[in-house]
Amino acid sequence: MSQHISTQARDVQVGTEIPPLELTVDPEKMKVMTALLADPNPIHFDPRALAALGMPERTVNQGPLNMGYLQTMLARWAGGRDRLLSFQVRFRGNVLAGDRVRAQGTVTAIEDTERGRVATCDISLVVVGGAEVLTGTADVIIEE
């Protein structure tokens, strides 16, 4: 078994807050993701399509990018993406080009398993100064 130990593992307990990840959503990265996913929905790349729907003329971020912000936060905290065991989120709102978002989480349970010490976390993505747009849970190995 690997001896990898997260730098935080010794200090993690129920109630521990995961260091948040905060960033501004880049419209150019959104365009790249739209192309990579071959997503034909114009709300991701055409502000005029949004205007026609009566929405603000800022393009809507891809769902996988929003989930990725949460996964990046968890991976940085736990010591790598391979430490993420489960990840479930619910979409509650849109993230728009130029929004400042914060991925955040709190440990709600810790269990010793055959894979190692595992933290169950409540996670969310919020638009800074606005709404919570993703909520969910994740299980992360914090010590092998």
For residues 142 and 78, the answer to whether their CB atoms sit within 8 Å is: yes
pTM, entire model: 0.88
Reported confidence tier of residue 40, pLDDT bands at 50, 70, 90: confident
Reported confidence tier of residue 9, pLDDT bands at 50, 70, 90: low
Range list of H helices, 2-122? 27-37, 47-52, 63-78
Give the domains, in start order, of the chain with CATH numbers: 9-26+61-143 (3.10.129.10)
Give the span between the Cα atoms of 75 and 78, in whole angstroms.
5
Look at the block and give the residue holding tokens 């997260």. Answer: 6
Structure tokens at 59: 């393009």
Going by their DSSP bridges, the two strands 84-91 and 17-24 should be labelled as: unpaired
